[in-house]
Amino acid sequence: MKKSKDIDEMIQQLFAGNRRAASRLITRVENETEDHHEIMKKIYPRTGQATIVGITGSGGAGKSTLTDHLIQKFREQGKTVGVIVVDPSSPFSGGALLGDRIRLQRHFLDDGVYIRSLASRGCLGGLSSATYNVIRILEAMGMDIIIVETLGAGQDEIDIIHIANTCILVATPGMGDDIQAMKAGIMEIADIIALNKSDLEGANRSLRQLQTALSVASLEEGQWAPRVIPTVSIGSRPEDLKGIDELASAITEHQEYLHTTRSIDKVKFERVEEELGLVFKDELQRLIFKGLRGTGKKRKYINSIIEGKNDPYSVVEEILNTYLIRKKKK
């Protein structure tokens, strides 16, 4: 375990915006080293102020390419930008992946930008408490905007909505069936839909489908009406690009909406609620497993489940009962 003094020094450097310190602290938090509690407790008071923008959508929809342009726009506005790419396919992390590295490389030398990819531990678009913690670290670093790219399949529950202030869903032409399937959940998922690759065939049809899907959804008075913005995010000439300015403006407008209607309070509440639940789950599990260590009981429980004599729910109930009762008697 690193000495507390080293951690304190790293944290001070983090507060000063040092990217090396950020990388080192993120690695500790991501790997849940023993001192990650201490790190989180110390940085927490400096967090909670950033604008968190979620970008989700299916693989290859253009999330990273759009992120690249958004970074540029926010930098032009003088804002600092942190980017987290949650990659479900890779068990590795510790830096941007090759593809993202290429797409986002023009920002790597900019001190006002910090980009990091994280493994999502296997579940589709799933966010672990480590992801929440890493976002907090980027906030403590002083990033004004934090973009979180996650893979999402549309109608599935998407964790990012619990964290992001503004959630962008990246769709592409020819998603007809998916759009039908998404209809019901679309309002819950997206504040803004980017119909990317609008240079491709079928873009107009998809745009109409999306607009129809949005127009039939019922809105309460004063509620934010999600909008579709057609985008083209690659091209050999700058004039080939489309919709990027509109996308950046829509994010700003949505932020203004959140603040003027005080909906931001609800967003903040939900984020902490989710975070608290995750930390609680992690810590309870850690405590229980620590208590079982050396007793051989964990192995016995697992084997009894494999042999069909027991199931995980009964085991957890039994452990919790024993543990909580014993604690109470003390």
Ligand X SMILES: Nc1nc2c(ncn2[C@@H]2O[C@H](COP(=O)(O)OP(=O)(O)OP(=O)(O)O)[C@@H](O)[C@H]2O)c(=O)[nH]1
Under the rule (CB under 5 A), what is the footprint of Mg ion? Answer: 63-64
Nearer to ligand X, 134 or 278 (CB): 134
Q: Residue 295: what are its φ and ψ, rounded to 5°?
A: -95, -15
Q: Residue 164: what are its φ and ψ, rounded to 5°?
A: -75, 140
Measured CA to CA, the distance from residue 44 to residue 38 in angstroms comes to 10
Nearer to Mg ion, 97 or 319 (CB): 97
DSSP code, position 310: -
Q: Which does 151 bind (CB under 5 to 8 A by kind): ligand X, Mg ion, none?
A: ligand X
Residues 126-165 that bind ligand X (CB under 6 A): 151
> Looking at 48, 60, 176, 277, which residue binds ligand X (CB under 6 A)?
60
Contacts 24+ apart (CB under 8 A), 303-312: none
Measured CA to CA, the distance from residue 234 to residue 240 in angstroms comes to 7
Q: Is the dihedral of CA 16, 20, 26, 28 positive or negative?
A: negative
Stretch that binds ligand X, among 35-43, 130-138, 152-160, 197-205 (CB under 6 A): 197-205
99 contributes a contact to ligand X by CB under 6 A: yes
**What's the angle, vertex CA 264, arms to CA 263 and CA 270, rounded to 5?**
95
**What's the angle, vertex CA 162, arms to CA 257 and CA 215, rounded to 5?**
50
> Looking at 28, 107, 136, 197, which residue binds ligand X (CB under 6 A)?
197
Nearer to Mg ion, 64 or 196 (CB): 64
> Looking at 63, 69, 107, 162, which residue binds ligand X (CB under 6 A)?
63
CB of 147 within 8 A of CB of 165? no
Nearer to ligand X, 68 or 191 (CB): 68
> Looking at 11, 43, 161, 232, which residue binds ligand X (CB under 6 A)?
232
Name the residues that contact ligand X, by CB under 6 A: 57, 59-65, 99, 103, 151, 196-197, 199-200, 232-234
